[in-house]
């Protein structure tokens, strides 16, 4: 599988282009933020934003040392995280479905009677 194909797959999983680039960079080996900046040629702010986003999703972890060294979890774990989030989102939607439809119908009826 080509790098471009992997980037596209990660974007389809909901990662931004920058997050996908950072993840693939870290998938090869752990790095410090400045090494990621040098490797990818992105701004330091953009790298830190991506690292924070990826950490929040559980896709990247950081050491407690300063400067921190970042590493990526396996693609298998990324897929598990994304599938779990999608399942939880579907469950939440299912749980609120009845209320959403009721609100929708009320809104439509009210707008029809106001015309």
The predicted pLDDT at position 115 comes to: 65
Domain ranges of the chain: 1-73, 74-115
| Cα 63–Cα 64–Cα 67 angle in degrees, nearest 5 | 80
Local confidence pLDDT in tens for the 115 residues of the chain: 688 999 999 998 889 999 999 999 999 899 999 999 999 999 999 999 999 999 999 999 999 999 999 999 999 998 898 888 889 999 999 999 999 999 999 998 887 777 6
Helix (H/G/I), strand (E/B), else coil: 85: helix
CB distance 25 to 3 below 8 Å: no
Q: Which of 10, 18, 75 is nearest to 50 (CA)?
A: 18
**Predicted model pTM:** 0.76
The predicted pLDDT at position 13 comes to: 87
DSSP string, 11-57: HHTT--HHHHHHHHHHHHS-EEHHHHHHHH---HHHHHHHHHHHHHT
Report, at the CATH architecture level, how domain 1-73 is classified. Orthogonal Bundle (1.10)
């Amino acid at each position: 599988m080509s790098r471009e194909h992997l980037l596209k797959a990660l974007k389809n999983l909901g990662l931004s282009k920058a997050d996908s680039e950072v993840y693939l960079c870290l998938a090869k080996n752990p790095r410090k933020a400045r090494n990621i900046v040098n490797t990818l040629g992105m701004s330091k702010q953009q790298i830190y934003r991506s690292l924070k986003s990826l950490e929040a999703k559980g896709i990247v972890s950081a050491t407690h040392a300063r400067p921190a060294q970042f590493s990526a979890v396996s693609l298998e774990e990324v897929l598990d995280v994304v599938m779990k989030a999608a399942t939880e989102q579907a469950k939440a939607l299912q749980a609120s479905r009845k209320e959403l439809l009721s609100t929708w119908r009320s809104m439509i009826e009210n707008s029809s009677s106001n015309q």
